[in-house]
Structures are given as structure tokens and as C-alpha cells.
Amino acid sequence: MVAVSKLQTMYTDMVTARYYEERLQEEYLEGKQPAFDISAGPIPGELHLAAGHEASAAGVCQHLRDDDTVTAPHRPHHIAIAKGVDMNRMTAEIFGRETGLSKGKGGHMHLFDPEVNFACSGIIAQGCPPAVGAGLAAKKRNEDSVAVAFLGEGAVSQGGFLESLNFAAVQDLPVVFVIEDNDWAISMPKNRVTDLEDASQRAGGFDMPGMRVDSDDATAVYDAAKEAVGRARDGNGPTLLEVQVHRRMGHFMGDPESYRPEDDSAAAKQRDSIERLASELRAAGVEDEALEELRENAHDRVDDAIGWAKEQPEPDPEDAYGDVFVGPESGVTTTEPTHELAGETRTGGED
């Protein structure tokens, strides 16, 4: 039995993430329509929303501390919220403001919060090797922190993922790999790229425990993650956990989803893990008014963060030259082709 207080925290994380993204969606569309102009409006660039994924982050992150590391993919907000990333600075980052987590240079796919050891990346499976590195560091320092790498099912054939599984297994590292299986990788259905229905079976190839939660049920994720994180924290090595989630929206904002059968989208929208958890809370004796209060508080927090972020200053364009390895002053940003190698001029097409 999961304690009611834990169910309430998961519910809060999930309604916060859902509302946060609903509000981002509104802000994002400002100025971008009718002809979808991706660079216009207060949130320029791509935006990947995670409606339908909330249960996995809420269930897993309940078991984590601030000193545990989490890496997330390009669909990161629900995970960042559940890990406790500073919402004001995350929002300022998404709006490209100076006080954002990365001074507005990273945007929504590149959120870094060293206060709670959170990072995400737009490169799929990219978070796996750093999570393994964090696990290795914890082991060498004799600390009991753990690392969790979230990734999508579309990334499970990436070398970075498979190599990470191998290294984590052979070194018995405190790492949990969490695959969010939403059945789609952009427009590519899962069964076109893998014959494995259940990606957690890949764990067997590395002599690692594998588990799958077949529905986006936050309580079931909580139970599975308790075992996996506990195993890592107790020094008993890594686990691969897959969670069935649902993509309620397009791959990115503005995706017309013309490739997706209508009944598939409709089915994803019918399965609402938030409503499911609300029913569990009611069955555990939590009144509707108490749920409403949790929702209202979550909404206020989100509205405050978005309001704060929008008041933050834009970065000075000159700042684009800071925090980079090579700046224009080094003289290497020439526009002339530089094909000279060891005194010879190369003609191209040789490699």
C-alpha cells in the first residue's frame, strides 16, 4: 500500500506538470499562427510536451533525493518538475531570459539544474552515459546516491544506451534506466523499428534485472521504482524499467500528426493517469475539496513561475560569446575555407 501522503505528492507533481504544459502551450502559440512561424512569439524554437507521460516521472522521482542525479530527454518538463528543478528559473530558461537556468542559452530541451543534479538533452539516449558517470562517481566516493536516466522507447537501439547498460551492469553501478514507451518516435511506430514488444527484456542481454509497468499507473510505477532505486541505493547494481505511457499530443507543438491513426490519438487521450490517481485518492478517503486544493495550489505555482519568467530581462546579444569554448576573439571563426593540413591543400571528397 502506498501511503496517502505519497499519493498526494505524486498527484501534485502530475497536475503541476500537466497545467505547466497547458500554460506553455498557450504562451508558445502566441505570434506563431496562422502560418506556423517557429521563431516567433515568447518561446522560440521547438517545444515537446509530455502530456500522458506524467505518471512515470512522478512514480520514479518519489524515491529520489536532491543528491541523486536525473538525466532526461527532449521531453523533460514532467521529469524536471518531479525532480524539484527550480520552476522559476526553468521557465525563464524556456522563455530565453537572462535569469534562466542556463542564462537563456539552452531553451526547453537543455535544462541544467546543479542544485538538484538534473540535466536534459535534445539528443536521444544522450543522458545515459552521464547518468552512468554519476553512478560511477557515487560508487567510487562510497556515497549512496543513485542516478536515473529517462529515455524514450525510440532511443533503445542507440549505441549510447546499450553501451551504458553494459558498463553499468559490469561495474554494478547504482543506475536506473527508465524507458518511457509512448509507442511513437516522432512519426515512427515502435513496431516498425523493433521486434521486441517489451524493451525491458533487453536487460537480460546484460544480466541486469528488467521490469515493465504495462500502464501509466503512478502507483504501479511507484512500486516498481521503489524496488529499482532501492536495489541501486543498496549497492546491488542497475535496473532497466520500462513504463507504458501515452502521447496525448503531437511529437512537438505544431505537429499535424497526419501519420497517426485517429483512433490511436483518441485512445491515448482516454487513458488519463491523473484521473486514475484521483480515483485512488478518493478511494483512500481524500475528499474532492482536498484534491481541488492541491490542483489550485499547483496552478498558482505555475502561473507565478510563468508571470515571473515573462518579467525577466532578455540576455544581451553580446553574451552569446560567453560560456563557449571558442570565441571570435580567438580568430578561428573565419569564413574562409581552411583545408590546409600538414602543408598540403586538400581538395575535398577524400574522406
Ligand X SMILES: Cc1ncc(C[n+]2csc(CCOP(=O)(O)OP(=O)(O)O)c2C)c(N)n1
- Which residues are tagged catalytic? 247, 251, 259
Crossing angle (nearest 10°) for helices 273-283 and 288-311: 140
Q: Which residues pair with 149 in a beta bridge?
A: 71, 177
74 binds, among ligand X, Mg ion, none (CB under 5 to 8 A by kind): ligand X
CA–CA separation, 246 and 270 (whole Å): 10
Query: 128-140 and 159-170 are packed helices; what angle lies between their axes, rounded to 10 degrees?
Result: 20
Q: Does 56 contact Mg ion by CB under 5 A?
A: no
With respect to ligand X, which residue has the nearer C-beta, 122 or 315? 122
Alpha-carbon 207 to chain mean position: 26
Of residues 171, 175, 172, the one with CA closest to residue 161: 175
CB of 148: closest distance to Mg ion in angstroms?
Answer: 18
Q: How far apart are CA 256 and CA 243, in angstroms?
A: 26
Name which position in 52, 107, 154, 210 contacts Mg ion (CB under 5 A): 154
The answer to whether 73 contacts Mg ion (rule: CB under 5 A) is no
3-state SS, residue 243: strand
- Name the residue nearer to ligand X (CB basis): 4 or 123: 123
Q: Please, which residue, 129 or 154, has the CB nearer to ligand X?
A: 154
d(CA 39, CA 5): 42
Q: Binding of Mg ion at residue 152 (CB under 5 A)?
A: yes
Min separation Cβ 126 and ligand X, Å: 7
Q: Is 52 in the site for Mg ion (CB under 5 A)?
A: no
Evaluated on CA atoms 216, 219, 222, 223, the torsion sign reads negative
Q: Which residues bind ligand X (CB under 6 A)?
A: 74-75, 122-124, 152-155, 182, 184-186, 251
Q: How far is the CB of 349 from ligand X (least distance, A)?
A: 26
Taking the C-alpha atoms of residue 112 and residue 100, their distance in angstroms, rounded to an integer, is: 10
Residue of 153, 3, 163, 150 whose CA lies nearest to 79 = 150
Cβ 181 to ligand X, closest distance in Å?
A: 8
The interface partner of residue 193, options being Mg ion, ligand X, none and the CB cut-off 5 to 8 Å by kind, is none
Q: What residues between 176 and 235 interact with Mg ion by CB under 5 A?
A: 182, 184-185
- CB nearer to ligand X: pick between 97 and 246: 246
Q: Which is nearer to Mg ion, 47 or 138 (CB)?
A: 47
What is the amino acid identity at position 327?
G
Q: Which is nearer to ligand X, 182 or 200 (CB)?
A: 182
* The residue to which cell 520500462 is assigned: 242
C-alpha cell at 340: 590546409
Place of cell 483512500: 284
CB of 154: closest distance to Mg ion in angstroms? Answer: 4
Number of residues that bind Mg ion (CB under 5 A): 6
Instruction: Give the interface segment with Mg ion, choosing from 61-69, 89-97, 153-161, 276-284 (CB under 5 A).
Output: 153-161
Min separation Cβ 293 and ligand X, Å = 32
Residue nearest to ligand X (CB): 152
CA distance 119 to 303: 23
Q: List interacting residues with Mg ion (CB under 5 A).
A: 152-154, 182, 184-185
